[in-house]
Structure 1
Amino acid sequence: MVINLKKEGLNLIAELRGELDHHSAEEIRNKIDDAIERDKIQNLIMSFEGVTFMDSSGIGVVIGRYKKLSIRGGKLLVTDINTTIGKVFELSGLYKIIKVYASIEEALRSV
């Protein structure tokens, strides 16, 4: 799993590539959390465009960041969900709590 982090104002953009599973979840969680704390981030945009697989550990990463930002009054937005990852989001109920956008640009316009 590769993660590219970019800061835009109070927003953090996390572009993910590869498999978000139990092998990579802790590293991804730590990198995102470090950036949130260090840069006083309000909103997180996670792009799943390059994600090819996601298991329950990946779901945990998403839910954990959602809770962390909600407590701060911020938002977690996800973009570029492909069919495979969309099924994971649907089955896990993530679509009920997290707003999905077609692109990073669209998500940035909404915050």
Structure 2
Amino acid sequence: MNLSFEKNGDKLIVHMIGELDHHSAEEVRNKVDNRLDTDGFNKLIMDFSGVTFMDSSGIGVVIGRYKKLSLKKGKVYITRVSGSVKRVFELSGMFKIIPMFESIENALDNM
């Protein structure tokens, strides 16, 4: 899993490329948390456009960031999800608690 980070004001955008599964979840969790903590962000946009596969470990990563930032009155938004990854989110019921947007721009406008 390759990650790149982008700052947009008080928001952190994480671009992910690859598979978000039990092999990569801990690394993603650690890198995202490190950036959130180091730079003091409490608003996170997770860009799933490059994620080709996700299992329940990926759901755990997203829920964990949601819980972490909720304690700081922060927000987590999910963007550009498609295919089988979107289906995993739908089956998990995740979209009931974490908003999903078609584009990063829409997420930024609504955050």
TM-score relative to the length of structure 1: 0.97
**Cα separation, 1, equivalents of 2:14 and 2:59:** 15
Alignment-derived partner of residue 102 in structure 1? 102
Specify every segment of 5 or more residues in structure 1 that has no aligned partner in the other structure, as ranges: none
Q: Which amino acid aligns with 1:55?
A: D
- CA offset at residue 83 of structure 1? 2.0
Alignment of 1:1-111 (within 5 A): 1-111=1-111
How many matched pairs? 111
Runs of 4+ aligned structure 1 residues displaced above 2 Å come to none
Q: RMSD across aligned C-alpha pairs, in angstroms?
A: 0.7
Specify every segment of 5 or more residues in structure 2 that has no aligned partner in the other structure, as ranges: none
Q: Which amino acid aligns with 2:53?
A: F
TM-score relative to the length of structure 2: 0.97
Percent of counterpart pairs with the same letter?
Answer: 56
**Cα separation, 2, equivalents of 1:85 and 1:57:** 12
